[in-house]
Chain A
């Protein structure tokens, strides 16, 4: 009896409460995605997701999109390609989401490209590399600043040639991303007549790099291009520190994944000095745009409780930028029509916290904004130091440049 009265009361309150709001409120706009939250890509995935969540909270604080609240529907793809087809089918066919974001990284994204093309759906890409080159979907827009496929290697080899580099050594992990980088590096080297004097891939999970580095040193290269994954990046730098790399080497680094993550950076400390490596966002004066500073203030607070990368430079602001682009497109077209949104995204330049973004026909950035930066004056066991400018000096591209290359590598390491 008592329970029934309570239930009745609760129901009545709920109905009355609903009634007054239901008139004003439309259903939320749902944005669906999978995100690696377990497995090898989880660290990046969680940071990226936090960036997207911060955007969601900001947009909802402003009253949402088209006057509707924004809701994220997120599933874990376990960093695996085999999970995403079913997840995206669920998002589209069952959850009936309004918009799709791609998961972080290439491997989970690749299987859903044909699916979104077939269904004619807009997909905002999230840091995958050349995933649309074979599929040719005209409603794909990558948030990552890679730009044209070869610009990555080209920027590094440019720098090295200006510093007097004549020949190159190539060291790459046997992993999807690193191998893609190595392929473009070989192409660019061939075009520029830079002979490759050492070209080696090593299996994933390699821990001891001494013998590889000795072999590399013996080849006497001027340029050392490394495409590695987080655990190996650390192993390679330790081996270089123990064995040395020779005075010929003008520039070392280029495609080392992991040196963007706070945990790895903190762990390596002074071993990073002198390395020139790619990055997407750095706390250098040239990289602040409207809203960037505010974003990182919020991120830094929330990263602690979310237990993600405390710095969040590499992925998080680009997650936020995905949201900003969708915001701009939805507001401009005043609809959620996928074709209209895609048309708007393709034809306009978008202001975001990571700078202006314009797309070319393949959905990649028209111009690469991947920076090459050199680590300077890094000390051991201090993550906070990386928040200051000057620790990673931007050498490339020119419009973001904040310093000049210190070369040769051995001199820069001091």
Chain B
């Protein structure tokens, strides 16, 4: 049963990547890649956020901290050594992992709301540090000259679109693996009742740390290409709180019990945001996110997947 699910999943991944790659080769108009990149970025962020925020129920408001760290790792590395994009992403993931470990060690002993507050503080602390780091432009920001694009892509944005799609696949397969493994079951146990889980032998702190590290690494990795996408970085944009709000909203609207939830939520909200940005384009698009969130919290507390499967429960070896 589980084996068959895996075949279906990986076949889906292969089809997705093939579709993305052929799209970069066929479609001439660049706009879908600009907009698509942003949507893919949010899928990766929402899925990564959900590993700690969904499975373990530890609401992390520090997505923007990890994201900004990813951006600035890429900027610093590129400025210092001219490292290629893959190296920038790998380095960002490593820094995100280390940051996740450090933050987790300091804050994961706190419960619920206190953890959330600590993560907000984290973002502010790191942003302040970056602002005073002249090498990466400090508060004034920094403009970056992209290197030439690599074959088979004819424009850098198309390449970034494909790279971000690969990051989505990595994030989703990681989330899926965790969900179906001992880690996922342990996280779910501590989400339901941490004390009981601890008493029955679940190593709660260790599991939370692992979740925080993986989540952090994935968020930072998803943030790294943003430096090349924008060809510019400034602290207020890189550490923008909207990344935290969006990732959280997407995961909650999609449903956090299963990895497919954040994916659906991010596709729905991300496309809506991109669409509103180029249609209504005023205060209204800021409002829509809030209204959607309220509607879902009131009408569908389990998110989209809860609507699709009313009595949906996370099962070991769950759906593909």
Contacts and interface: CB of A to CB of B under 8 A. Distances in A.
Interface in B27-43: 29-31, 33-35, 37-38
Contact of B234 (A37, A74, A83, A176): A176
Interface of A: 37-38, 74-78, 80-83, 85-87, 89-90, 93-94, 106-107, 110-111, 113-114, 131, 134-135, 173-176, 178-180, 183, 201, 203-204
Given A74-B281, A86-B31, A89-B30, A81 B234 contact: yes
B232 interface: yes
Which 4 pairs of residues, A with B, have the shortest CB-CB distance? A86-B34, A81-B237, A179-B140, A110-B232
A114 B231 CA distance: 7
A37 B281 contact: yes
A107 B232 CA distance: 9
A86 B139 contact: no
A207 B269 CA distance: 35
29 contacts: A38-B286, A74-B281, A78-B242, A80-B237, A81-B230, A82-B226, A82-B230, A86-B35, A86-B38, A89-B35, A90-B278, A93-B29, A94-B31, A106-B141, A107-B237, A110-B230, A110-B232, A111-B230, A114-B143, A114-B145, A114-B231, A174-B131, A174-B138, A175-B236, A176-B140, A176-B141, A179-B140, A183-B140, A203-B131
Interface in B131-178: 131-132, 138-141, 143, 145-146, 157
Contacts, number: 111
A37 B282 CA distance: 6
Nearest to B279: A75
Interface residues of B, number: 38
B285 interface: yes
A175 B233 CA distance: 13
A75 to B, nearest CB: 4
B230 A94 contact: no
B316 interface: no
B172 to A, nearest CB: 23
Nearest to B280: A76
Contacts of B116: none
Nearest to A76: B281
B283 A37 contact: yes
A83 B277 contact: yes
Given A85-B34, A179-B139, 16 more contacts: A37-B281, A78-B277, A80-B237, A80-B240, A82-B226, A82-B230, A86-B37, A86-B277, A93-B31, A110-B143, A111-B230, A114-B146, A131-B143, A203-B128, A203-B131, A204-B236
B250 to A, nearest CB: 16
Dominant secondary structure of chain B at its interface with chain A: helix
Contacts of A113: 143, 231
Interface of B: 29-31, 33-35, 37-38, 128, 131-132, 138-141, 143, 145-146, 157, 226, 229-234, 236-237, 240, 242, 274, 277-278, 281-283, 285-286
Contacts of B230: 81-82, 85, 110-111
Nearest to B141: A176
B275 to A, nearest CB: 11
A90 B31 contact: yes
A76 B282 contact: yes
Contact of B277 (A81, A87, A93, A134): A87
Contacts of A107: 141, 234, 236-237
Contacts of A83: 277
A179 B31 CA distance: 33
A131 B140 CA distance: 11
A131 B37 CA distance: 24
A236 B172 CA distance: 49
A49 to B, nearest CB: 11
Nearest to A133: B143
A177 to B, nearest CB: 8
A135 B229 CA distance: 16
Given A134-B145, A174-B131, A90 B139 contact: no
B189 to A, nearest CB: 38
Contacts of B236: 107, 175-176, 204
Contact of A180 (B38, B140, B281): B140
Contact of A174 (B31, B139, B282): B139
Nearest to A106: B141
Nearest to A134: B143
Contacts of A135: 143
Contacts of B132: 174, 201
B229 to A, nearest CB: 7
Contacts of A134: 143, 145
B234 A75 contact: no
A82 B33 CA distance: 14
Contacts of A183: 140
Greatest chain B CB density within 10 A among A81, A85, A86, A135 is at A86
